[in-house]
Amino acid sequence: MSKERRTNALPPTNEDTCGPYFPIYFADDSLEDLTRIHPGVVAGASGQYIILCGRVLDRHGNLAHGVVMEFWQANAKGLYRTPATRDHADIDPWFHGYGRLRSRGGEYSFRTVMPGATPGRAPNITVTLFSDGINRIVTQMFFAGHPANDADPLLQELDAADRARLMARRDGTAADGAEIYRFDIVMAGDAETPFFDDLES
């Protein structure tokens, strides 16, 4: 075997090679930045702009090779956009609360607004992941240092180590004033991020 053929290997996938494989329309730039409703529209979402960035890692600490991430959150006033809240006075017409991005190499950057606290909950963002060998895993991300964390019922069910794994931590400010938060997700292994299936079992 020639040297050229030996170095032409593809990187291994996380667990299996059976997919899922995502169609091209899963890459939609308008869903990667929730601070604007659509390219070309001048109006933007209300609230403090934030940038979430981080890595999705497998059980060995390696970056995931191909992952789709979905985000679901309340607006800056703590209201989710649903059919029941369609006419609510606090609905932001320029913010729909759902985002999605596809990362080829396991690193991500997602632009949104800081969610407000909903009744009985600390500000959080629900994150759903799809990757090779994983049908669907769901977690929630919180913001380190927020006073409402102390009373959040989900966080109170976890020990200190697992609570820490759900915290996005401040990591500076972007040039346009957006606050940067870093949040890594570990899909399996000793440092695994708590997922809802784990909490229900």
Q: Among residues 142, 50, 123, which one has the least CA distance to residue 80?
A: 123
CATH number of 30-200: 2.60.130.10
pTM of the full predicted structure?
Answer: 0.82
Q: How far is CA 62 from the centre of its chain?
A: 18
| pLDDT tens-digit series, residues 144-188 | 999 999 999 999 999 999 999 999 999 999 999 999 999 999 998
Beta bridge partners of 127: 71, 139
Q: Which residue has the tokens 């607004």?
A: 113
| Residues in a beta bridge with 63 | 57
Higher pLDDT, 38 or 129: 129
User: Which tens digit of pLDDT belongs to each residue from 36-65?
Assistant: 766 666 678 899 999 999 999 988 888 988
Picking from 71, 57, 29, the residue whose alpha carbon sits closest to that of residue 134 is 57
Please check the confidence at residue 25 and state whether its pLDDT lies above 90: no
Q: What is the mean pLDDT of the chain?
A: 85
- Say how many residues make up the chain: 201
Q: How far apart are CA 89 and CA 182, in angstroms?
A: 32
pLDDT score recorded for residue 103:
87
Is the separation of the CB atoms in 70 and 98 below 8 Å?
yes
